Structure 1
Amino acid sequence: MLTFLSPAKSLNFEIEVPQLDYSQPLFKQETAKLVEQLKQLSAADIKNLMHVSDNIAQLNYERYKNFRNSFQLPYAKPAALVFTGEVYKGLHANDYTAEDWQFAQEHLRILSGLYGMLRPLDLIQPYRLEMGTKFSFNGYKNLYEYWKEKVTEEIKKELSKQENPVIINLASAEYFKVIDKKILDTEIITPVFKDNKNGTYKTIMMYAKNARGKMASFIVKNKITNPEHLKAFDEDGYIFNKLLSGNSEWVFTRG
């Protein structure tokens, strides 16, 4: 069973990281080619491309200018610890034991516009590049075209090693779209989190993102490899709602 998350736009590289067996990103060469193209952009180009403020554009111009081809501490840090935001508040990876990290490294993946796909302990350098960014380069129309085949083939290989070759999709639509589902031809379960608002269940994005992170952590801490066991998830008052759920979309409601 492989679980997928989206990355976060906000990063914290000031954190102290524990002594762990860190790994290198799977697609270092592909990332280097992408960074080569991004280094050619001015801060103004980045502002227009990413629709960000002058400050964020300048920050990312400097990030790419200083980007290195090697990934080592202290300028590179583990993905699951540097991403912040609601999903990663829910994931709370700084609480993980050595056994949790080992399980996460085998079963948890983070999709990324710059790195393609990351394992939790992969060392990364700071960046901003959303998967949906309309960036065309070297004959590729966009990042989906650049990453789709590479990421899908790697997932296919990893699923073949899994006892239960099922995908748990806790990523956003923007990121999960990079996976070619037809080629994988495997079961995909998408948990959805809804809150009761005036008698109607609705997705409230801030809460849903946090719940995605909490469910990913629930999988890691309980070493879940059978998706049926996800139905026991009950954090923050969410419970599995059989009536609203289908075969591939599992709805968890509260209130």
Structure 2
Amino acid sequence: MRMIISPAKKMNTDTDILDYRKLPGWLAETEQLLQQLQGMSYDELKSLWKCNDAIAQLNEERIRHMQLTERLTPAIYSYEGIQYQYMAPGVFSKQELDYLEQHLRILSGFYGLLRPFDGVVPYRLEMQAKLAGPGFRSLYEFWGRRLADALFSETNCIVNLASKEYSKCITPYLEESTRFVTCVFGQLIGDKVVEKGTLVKMARGEMVRYMTEHQVASLEEIKHFDRMEFKYNKTLSDEHTYVFIQ
């Protein structure tokens, strides 16, 4: 079983917390993307990132001086988004961190597929960013089915806790032999399940934490998730989607 999650836009460098274990598995591809970004002007980068000047200046500076094998932070500690805050990996035990390393995978537009303790540097490159280069018109086209194939080589059971932007790297290549279950966290308003962005990110982080603390080994165990007042709803769920209602 593997959980897949999205990265976060906000990142940090912390070389003191814990050492990274390995370099990312797609570093040659990352270097190719870095060279593409380094060849762009400030205005082109700002347009690509769709951000304000402060964020654009910070990330342009990062790109101009980026070294992919120096001052690395384990990915799980580098990302600072809401999902990662609620996951709270900083207080996991060694056993829990080992479970996380085995079972969690982070999808990244820049790095491809990351293990939690792969060493990364801060970057800004969303999967849906309109980056084109030699032989590719988008990051989806750049990565193709490589990330899905790598994931399928590890497991035939995937718990999807990623946004649609990132799970789209996997879903077009699903095989009949692969069980792919998306977790939905929402509120029942009338007869519709309504998902609220921030709440969903919080719940995804809590689900990773729950699975890690309980060393979850089967899909059936996920249904017992009860944090943030969420409860599994059997009626609204099916074999491909587990719906949790608050």
Deviation string, structure 1 residues 161-195 (Cα, Å, up to 9, x no partner): xxxx2110000000010125435431110010012
CA contact (8 A) 2:12 2:78 kept: yes
1:8 aligned onto 2:8: yes
CA contact (8 A) 2:6 2:166 kept: yes
Mapping for residues 111-150 of structure 1, pairs under 5 Å: 111-150=107-146
Query: Matched residues in 2 for 1:155 and 1:198: separation?
Result: 37
1:232 match: secondary structure: coil
1:169 aligned onto 2:160: yes
CA contact (8 A) 2:15 2:72 kept: no
Quote the offset at 1:198 in angstroms: 7.4
Quote the offset at 1:22 in angstroms: 2.0
Deviation string, structure 1 residues 181-213 (Cα, Å, up to 9, x no partner): 435431110010012457864211111111011
The verdict on how the C-alpha distance between 1:197 and 1:85 changes in structure 2, with shifts beyond 3 A counting, is farther
Picking from 146, 166, 179, the partner of 1:187 is 179
Residue 162 of structure 1 corresponds to: none
CA contact (8 A) 2:100 2:212 kept: yes
CA contact (8 A) 1:26 1:117 kept: yes
CA contact (8 A) 2:87 2:205 kept: yes
Deviation string, structure 1 residues 2-24 (Cα, Å, up to 9, x no partner): 10000001113258413x56221
Query: Matched residues in 1 for 2:154 and 2:118: separation?
Result: 16
1:97 aligned onto 2:93: yes
Deviation string, structure 1 residues 22-67 (Cα, Å, up to 9, x no partner): 2211111110111011111122111111211112111111111111
The verdict on how the C-alpha distance between 1:139 and 1:93 changes in structure 2, with shifts beyond 3 A counting, is same
Please, what TM-score do these two structures have when normalized by structure 1?
Answer: 0.90
RMSD: 1.7
Picking from 72, 81, 93, the partner of 1:85 is 81
The verdict on how the C-alpha distance between 1:191 and 1:127 changes in structure 2, with shifts beyond 3 A counting, is same
Q: Give the aligned length.
A: 245
Quote the offset at 1:95 in angstroms: 1.2
Letter in 2 for 1:212: R
Residue 72 of structure 2 corresponds to: 76
The verdict on how the C-alpha distance between 1:83 and 1:214 changes in structure 2, with shifts beyond 3 A counting, is same
Q: What percent of counterpart residues are identical?
A: 33
CA contact (8 A) 1:148 1:179 kept: no
Residue 243 of structure 1 corresponds to: 235
Query: Matched residues in 2 for 1:8 and 1:235: separation?
Result: 22
Deviation string, structure 1 residues 106-150 (Cα, Å, up to 9, x no partner): 110000010011111111001000000011101201000111222
Letter in 2 for 1:250: Y
